[in-house]
């Protein structure tokens, strides 16, 4: 615990009670009990990266700890074989560490990397929530590819994500 509430604002410190027992370790529950979210989505255009940041900020506001793959700084101009392997390993570790995967599946067809990340997360037994704001449909009974739709809870508005993910705010 590194902040306390004596008023509507947080103040630095362990508080009056815990300050009497400095040998007792204390952890702020908001830091300790945050769900880790892997935010999968296309990240190749400026618009895609900006939308991903919007989703990142929305989820962080609701106390989710969000891993954003685009933060690796990957561009086709900087990649070689070693960078490919390192980026892949970093994303795999983040997927394994995540509690939930949120995937943006907009477009005529979902991004292939995003689809792979969803499948990997599903195979690991992770909860997958897909965001599809695109009004196009894939068939008579599907909003998107059958395998993606059946492996995830699909929401159609970003504002619904915190509720579907279980935010208490």
Question: How high is the pLDDT of residue 2?
Answer: 53
- Give Cα separations from 132 to 10, 29, 31, 149, 155 (angstroms): 37, 32, 30, 10, 6
Non-local (6+) Cβ contacts of 54 within 8 A are 158
Q: What are phi and psi of 32, to 5 degrees?
A: -80, -40
**Consecutive 10-residue averages of pLDDT for the chain (169 residues):** 57 78 74 83 93 97 93 73 88 96 92 96 97 80 79 94 86
Residue 134: count of CB within 10 angstroms of its CB? 15
What pTM, to 2 d.p., does this model score?
0.78
Beta bridge partners of 167: none
**Per-residue tokens: 15:** 């508080």
Question: How high is the pLDDT of residue 95?
Answer: 98
34-165 CATH, one of 2.160.10.10, 3.40.50.450, 3.30.70.20, 3.20.20.100? 3.40.50.450
Question: How high is the pLDDT of residue 135?
Answer: 83
Q: Which long-range contacts (C-beta less than 8 Å, at least 24 apart) are formed by 56-62?
A: 58/158, 58/159, 58/161, 58/162, 59/102, 59/161, 59/162, 59/165, 61/169, 62/162, 62/165, 62/167, 62/169
Region(s) of the chain under CATH 3.40.50.450: 34-165
Question: How high is the pLDDT of residue 82?
Answer: 84
Residue 118: count of CB within 10 angstroms of its CB? 27
């Amino acid at each position: 615990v590194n902040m306390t509430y004596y008023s509507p604002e947080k103040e630095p410190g362990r508080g009056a009670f815990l300050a009497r027992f400095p040998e007792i370790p204390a952890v702020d529950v908001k830091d300790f009990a945050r769900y880790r979210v892997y935010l999968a989505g296309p990240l190749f255009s400026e618009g895609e990266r900006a939308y991903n940041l919007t989703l990142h900020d929305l989820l962080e506001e609701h106390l989710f700890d969000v891993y954003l793959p685009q933060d690796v700084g990957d561009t086709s101009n900087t990649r070689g074989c070693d960078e490919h392997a390192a980026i892949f390993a970093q994303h795999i570790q983040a997927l394994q560490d995540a509690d939930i995967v949120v995937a943006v599946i907009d477009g005529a067809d979902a991004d292939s990397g995003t689809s792979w990340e969803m499948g990997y997360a599903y195979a690991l037994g992770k909860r997958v929530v897909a965001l599809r704001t695109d009004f196009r449909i894939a068939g008579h009974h599907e909003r998107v590819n059958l395998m993606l739709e059946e492996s995830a809870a699909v929401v159609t508005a970003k504002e619904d994500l915190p509720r579907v993910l279980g935010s208490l705010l």
